[in-house]
């Protein structure tokens, strides 16, 4: 997908993670590459030829799932597709965010436009028109097991194309017919195969996991910054970041993480103040082993990104239309690309990384409030006893870190058969991806509390300064949250720090330092 001023030209099968990240972050105007249309038209023509020939073909003129043996008369094919969408729109729970819905629509457009799904250009163009008009289908978050496609949520997406149900425009719910009329978009009547092509696929599972991935990237950056800040607040050593230590192990994420930590703490006056005469021989693991832990998280996040990018560009509906069949004729092949096991595994490993980022940050908070380890005032406040300081803020961090342990339990190892045992093994990828948002918000709070605690520790070392990078972060925080001189209503401070983490503000002035994360 290529950006042209305010427009983005989508080239099916060629999206990058940067493209997906940009669509997740903000709306853009989509234009489909002109070369996509001939292959879409050829695929649609192949479906019409199959209908005209009269042979039974799954999803085109048969029922679905266990009803695949039921032959549907030609005059009922449009009704079949409409009924499919209405009957499968059974989602429940909160609506997916606009950011996630944008990703779902983008990936569905890209998948259909590759020309293996048998839909008319009208279907792709209608989805693009909805997207560009800011009409976000109201998609409930729950109701998919991540196999046979994300049937229920994608049916809710398709309802909007039919002019049925609700949509969200500028954050407000409104009836789909009204939104389409205002945008000048005509509701579609689905032809053979089109309903099934729209609701088969892994786009919802993948969008939810991409959302978790992009959140995890921000958490990783923020936690490396707060971890470096905690190191200086506790007067820890930067010797464990020595390039030679990590080179002899050879783990690429660890090597890269150590490089980033070296840059984050470089030229710290606090570090220079205890280079000699420090009685401590080694720091606790939560300070000393940051490159090892965060580097492993970095590697996991990178692997997840590669899997999700492949899936974002993939064709995952069923059946598929291939133009290279016997005698040069189009052939319809029934397969199982809708099974979201790769996404489920990716989401489960991403959950491990998000949980560990938070777990390590929680340990550093515990270290900072413990005067015997940090050398700082107990609970990071003057006059402890009268003031509780960061005592219960740490309890909140511990509660959320513990909650993440339960949420990190793999979803992919579970399976409940559906469709009268026709669909007898499923991935649970949709839940695997959906739970990442809760985990990411938990970890953002933990890292936000560490930011507050580490900045408090830095203040106790004044007039000495930390590194230039970290001084800037400290200054950003103090613009929003003052020094904790005595007990006060603390929740707003924690929320402010959390939002700094989620918005990527901790790394905003040193993006070049973190650029290798996205190489």
User: Helix or strand or coil: residue 322?
Assistant: strand
Output the CA torsion 299→305→307→309 (10° steps): -160
User: Helix or strand or coil: residue 175?
Assistant: strand
Pairing state between β 29-32 and 7-10: parallel
User: Which residues contact residue 419 at a Cβ distance below 8 angstroms, ignoring those fewer than 6 apart?
Assistant: 65, 66, 148
Q: Are 228 and 265 in contact (CB under 8 A)?
A: yes
- Among the listed residues 58, 131, 261, 518, the single catalytic one is 58
Q: Are 210 and 308 in contact (CB under 8 A)?
A: yes
Nearest-Å Rg of the Cα atoms of the chain is 26
What are the backbone dihedrals phi and psi of residue 450, each rounded to the nearest 5 degrees, phi first?
Answer: -65, -40
| Active-site residue flag, 37 | no
Question: Can you spell out the DSSP letters for 374-440?
Answer: H-SPGGG-SSBTTB-TTHHHHHHHHHHHHHHHHHTS-STT----BTTTTB-----HHHHHHHHHHHH
* Secondary structure element (H or E) that encloses residue 87, with its range: helix 77-88
Question: Can you spell out the DSSP letters for 17-80?
Answer: HHHHHHHHHS--EEEE-TTHHHHHHHHHHHHHHHHHHT---TTTSB-SGGGTT-B--GGGHHHH
Distance between CA atoms of residues 321 and 218, nearest Å: 40
User: Which residues contact residue 483 at a Cβ distance below 8 angstroms, ignoring those fewer than 6 apart?
Assistant: 456, 459
- Cβ atoms within 10 Å, residue 184: 8
Exposed, middle or buried: residue 464 (CB in 10 Å: 0-12, 13-18, 19+)? middle
Q: Are 61 and 74 in contact (CB under 8 A)?
A: yes
Distance between CA atoms of residues 27 and 474, nearest Å: 32
**Residues designated catalytic:** 58
């Amino acid at each position: 997908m290529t950006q042209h001023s305010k427009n983005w030209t989508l080239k099916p099968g060629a999206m990058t993670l940067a493209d997906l990240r940009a669509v997740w972050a903000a709306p853009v105007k989509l234009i489909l590459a002109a070369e996509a249309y001939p292959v879409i038209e050829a695929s649609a023509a192949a479906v019409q030829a199959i209908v005209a020939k009269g042979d039974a073909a799954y999803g085109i003129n048969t029922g679905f799932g266990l009803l695949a043996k039921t032959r549907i008369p030609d005059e009922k094919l449009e009704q079949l597709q409409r009924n499919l969408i209405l009957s499968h729109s059974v989602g429940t729970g909160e609506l997916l965010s606009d950011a996630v819905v944008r990703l779902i629509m983008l990936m569905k457009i890209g998948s259909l436009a590759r020309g293996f799904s048998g839909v008319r250009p009208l279907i792709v163009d209608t989805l693009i028109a909805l997207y560009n008009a800011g009409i976000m289908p109201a998609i409930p978050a729950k109701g998919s097991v991540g196999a046979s496609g994300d049937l229920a949520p994608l049916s809710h997406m398709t309802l909007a194309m039919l002019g049925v149900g609700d949509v969200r425009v500028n954050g407000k719910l409104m009836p789909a017919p009204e939104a389409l009329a205002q945008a000048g978009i005509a509701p579609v009547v689905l032809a053979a195969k089109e309903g099934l092509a729209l609701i088969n696929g892994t786009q919802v599972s993948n969008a939810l996991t991409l959302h978790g991935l992009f959140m995890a990237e921000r958490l990783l950056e923020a936690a490396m910054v707060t971890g470096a800040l905690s190191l200086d607040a506790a007067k820890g050593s930067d010797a464990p970041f020595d390039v030679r230590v990590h080179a002899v192990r050879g783990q690429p994420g660890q090597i890269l993480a150590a490089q980033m930590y070296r840059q984050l703490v470089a030229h710290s006056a606090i570090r220079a103040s205890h280079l000699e005469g420090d009685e401590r021989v080694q720091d606790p693991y939560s300070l000393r082993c940051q490159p090892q832990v965060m580097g492993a998280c970095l590697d996991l996040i990178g692997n997840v990104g590669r899997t999700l990018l492949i899936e974002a560009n993939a064709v995952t509906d069923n059946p598929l239309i291939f133009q290279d069949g016997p005698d040069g004729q189009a052939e319809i092949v029934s397969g199982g690309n809708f099974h979201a096991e790769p996404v489920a595994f990716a989401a489960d490993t991403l959950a491990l990384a998000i949980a560990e980022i938070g777990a390590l940050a929680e340990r550093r908070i515990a270290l900072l409030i413990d005067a015997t380890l940090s050398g700082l005032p107990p609970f990071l406040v003057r006059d402890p006893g009268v003031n509780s300081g960061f005592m219960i803020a740490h309890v909140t961090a511990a509660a959320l870190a513990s909650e993440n342990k339960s949420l990190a339990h793999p979803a992919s190892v579970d399976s409940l058969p559906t469709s009268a045992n026709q669909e007898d093994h499923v991935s649970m990828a949709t839940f695997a991806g959906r739970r990442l948002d809760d985990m990411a918000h938990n970890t953002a709070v933990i890292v936000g509390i560490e930011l507050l605690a580490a900045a408090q520790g830095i203040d106790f070392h004044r007039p000495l300064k930390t590194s230039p990078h970290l001084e800037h972060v400290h200054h950003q925080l103090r613009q929003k949250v003052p020094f904790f001189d005595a007990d006060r209503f603390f929740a707003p401070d924690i929320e402010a720090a959390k939002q700094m983490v989620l918005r990527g503000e901790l790394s905003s002035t040193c993006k070049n330092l973190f650029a290798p994360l996205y190489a």
